[in-house]
Amino acid sequence: MFYAELLQAALAEPDWSILQRLAEIAVRLEMSLYIVGGPVRDCLLRRTGTDLDLTTEGDALTLARVAARDLGGAWKKFERFGTAKLYFPGRARSAPIDVATTRTETYAHPGALPEVTRGTLQTDLVRRDFTFNALAIRLDGDHQGELIDLHGGEQDLQQGLLRVLHPRSFEDDPTRLLRGARFEQRFGFSFATDTLQLIPPALPALDQVSGDRLRHELELIFGEAQPLKPLLRLHDLGVLHQIDPACVVDDWIAARFQTQTAPPERNVEEAQDDRFTCWAWLTCRLTESSLTRFSQRVNLARAEAVDVAQVKALRDAQGTIGMLQRRSEIYRALAAYSDRALRTALTVIDRPAAQQNIGLCLNELRHVKPALDGHQLQALGALRGPGLGRLLEQIHDAVLDGLITTPQQEEDYARQFIAREGQDP
């Protein structure tokens, strides 16, 4: 029972009650039920988390379907993987309970996604990354509270050690190198000596890992409370260099990460912005060709690849940007850059005059709009065409520069322009 109590203490309500009800359903269906992996590790470390990963040697889809029906939740099945997600009132939609049938994984080649077949709890645990992530606590019936620790994970947790389960672990799944650094630094642990020795020979296997998987792992690191620590560790281990020789964490980049103070709760957009900022810090001092290669290696989404290139361009052009004087000139020079690129550029530019002009553009100039639009100018006699665009731009510039301050002045300006340059301005 000891471990059941630990689990109960680590879980916020309603999670413990939900687990109890799920365990009752598992008993009724004559299935075993275990909580496994991260939540078990966190509970033994007396840390609270929101992830609930469950596994059964029975059919997870049946369990999820019956549980959703009987407990008033919703469920989504992933037939191919034999897994399901359960959603219950009182738990965030973004934090479903994962239910899986115990499985065996084999890797066709290093770095490949695993081929999954049904397995036992033993095979399900032995496929995992580190001993402390290969722990399970049984939840059903009289077995409730039994710790299943086949690989010495509890002892490794107590000693603060990361240990892989077999010597080919990093080759099978080289993303474990990134996961390992993340856990090591998050918990203040160390790689066990024999595990550490497996890292250098496994580095070339990273070349087989897809950009999407690498990006995902790096973004998980960016989302840590202190991302700099695992990044430095990965730099020192040669993992970043193996991903791309241009991917380094030097003092300049470290200083950027040190300025980062992530508030505990970030909404989705803010978290996305934070991730983008990290990419920009890593890439904004690269040459154009290195930046393009690195963006491709981690398969950055097109919008992000464009914006990191913009941050670099803004940083490179800070001397010129700082010299701009007229408000309309500043607005035009920065018009092609996204808000996100401009905001992020403020964190990588050191010239105060450039900072000031970019800040001015973001906070003020981008919100200045003339009162008259193209339709209204046509009503005053301007004809459609490129000339109308010019007139709009001139009025906009005059408004930005404070030469025109009222709609009446805009109209007067337009009438004079049309009279001077003819019906088609």
Query: Can you give the binding site for ligand CTP, defined by CB under 6 A?
Result: 37-38, 51, 53, 128-129, 133, 173, 175-176, 179
Integer Cα distance of 369 and 182 in angstroms: 47
| Beta-bridge partners for 78 | 83
| Beta-bridge partners for 103 | 118
Find the shortest distance in angstroms from Cβ 314 to ligand CTP.
33
Closest CB to ligand CTP among residues 38, 152: 38
> Up-side HSE of residue 410: CA atoms within 13 Å toward CB?
23
Closest CB to ligand CTP among residues 35, 414: 35
Integer Cα distance of 129 and 218 in angstroms: 17
Closest CB to ligand CTP among residues 35, 334: 35
Integer Cα distance of 190 and 184 in angstroms: 6
Find the shortest distance in angstroms from Cβ 160 to ligand CTP.
16
Find the shortest distance in angstroms from Cβ 40 to ligand CTP.
8
Closest CB to ligand CTP among residues 156, 307: 156
Find the shortest distance in angstroms from Cβ 133 to ligand CTP.
3
Find the shortest distance in angstroms from Cβ 141 to ligand CTP.
24
Find the shortest distance in angstroms from Cβ 284 to ligand CTP.
28
Helix axes 175-187, 228-237, angle to 10 degrees: 130
* Other C-beta atoms lying within 10 Å of the C-beta of residue 210: 14
| Beta-bridge partners for 125 | none
Find the shortest distance in angstroms from Cβ 114 to ligand CTP.
9
Question: What's the burial of 408, exposed, middle or buried (CB within 10 Å: 0-12/13-18/19+)?
Answer: exposed
Closest CB to ligand CTP among residues 180, 425: 180
Closest CB to ligand CTP among residues 176, 396: 176
Closest residue to bound ligand CTP by CB: 38
Rounded to 5 degrees, what angle do the CA atoms 54, 182, 230 make?
170
Closest CB to ligand CTP among residues 264, 386: 264
Integer Cα distance of 95 and 175 in angstroms: 23
DSSP assigned state of 248: -
Closest CB to ligand CTP among residues 86, 286: 86
Give the max Cα distance, the chain: 93
Closest CB to ligand CTP among residues 39, 425: 39
Find the shortest distance in angstroms from Cβ 291 to ligand CTP.
28
Integer Cα distance of 86 and 76 in angstroms: 7
Integer Cα distance of 385 and 298 in angstroms: 43
Q: Using an 8 Å Cβ cutoff, are 151 and 123 in contact?
A: no
**Measured between alpha carbons, how far is residue 373 from residues 87, 376, 387, 406 in Å?**
49, 5, 14, 14
Q: Is 37 left (phi over 0), alpha (psi -120 to 50) or beta?
A: left
Find the shortest distance in angstroms from Cβ 44 to ligand CTP.
12
